[in-house]
Amino acid sequence: ESGAGKSTFSITSPSPTLFLDVEAGSRFLQTKKVKWNPQDGEEPPVADGTWETCVVTVHDFETALKAYEWLKSGKHPFKTVILDSISELQAKAQESINGRAQMQTQHWGQLLSKIAFFCRDLRDLTAHRSNPLEAVIVTAMSRDVEGVKRPYLQGQVASQVPYWFDICSYLFVDQKTNPETQQTETVRRLLTAKHPQFEAKSRVPGLPAILDNPNVNDMLESVFGPREA
């Protein structure tokens, strides 16, 4: 849901991080940032220790594709790529097909292909031959479909996208009682296991069904072991 903390959660991942900002929300992130515009032919910034998150403002679908080309080449310093969000990127992809006019029947197949190829290509960067990423994180808005919270996407891609990634999870804000103070505290929780009311699944061993105040670095270490210094 809006305000659950998806963007904040995503930047707890290994840095340097590439943040594909489709929702124009990166300006609120509490991280050391640098800007990059792959459309201008610029090379990715050098990881010199002055920044943690490299932000690409995605005004159109072509900008996302340009950033991906650099990732595919392996000539970059990034350990994580974040797409925030796939729901907004699908709207950009739709605009690249038919402008802002109503989609026709023949356009839906093109839209499915664009989003499907892009998501799978990002995912496969974790298996890049020379410079694999440690994490690929894709956020999405949510909507109710027959009583189940699912990623907010149009067409067939809505039912297919959970299958493309190792984890499909639902992030939500909850309340819990501190056993020491008996005070009620706000906590962000990440559901990673199958649930009748939420689209969620994991094929990753070692993760609990629900994580409180989740952190991507901690999740990776629980699966793969401590990272070398």
Chunk the chain into consecutive blocks of 10 residues (it has 229) and report each block's average pLDDT, rounded to whole numbers: 87 95 88 93 92 95 94 96 92 82 75 86 95 95 89 83 91 85 87 92 89 93 83
Give residue 93's pLDDT: 86
Q: Of 196, 198, 199, 222, which Cα lies nearest the Cα of 211?
A: 222
φ/ψ of residue 17, rounded to 5? -115, 140
Between the two ends of the chain, the Cα-to-Cα distance in Å is 36
What is the Cα–Cα distance from 101 to 97, expressed in whole angstroms?
Answer: 10
Q: What is the pLDDT of residue 229?
A: 64
Which residue, among 20, 133, 14, has the nearest Cα to 67 in the 3D structure? 20
Query: With contact defined as beta carbons under 8 Å apart, do 47 and 110 qualify?
Result: no
Kindly state the helix (H) or strand (E) to which residue 138 belongs, with its residue range: strand 135-138
% residues pLDDT > 90 (the chain)? 57
Residue 50's pLDDT is 95
Report pLDDT digits (tens) over 145-199: 889 899 888 877 888 888 899 999 999 998 888 777 878 888 899 999 999 999 9
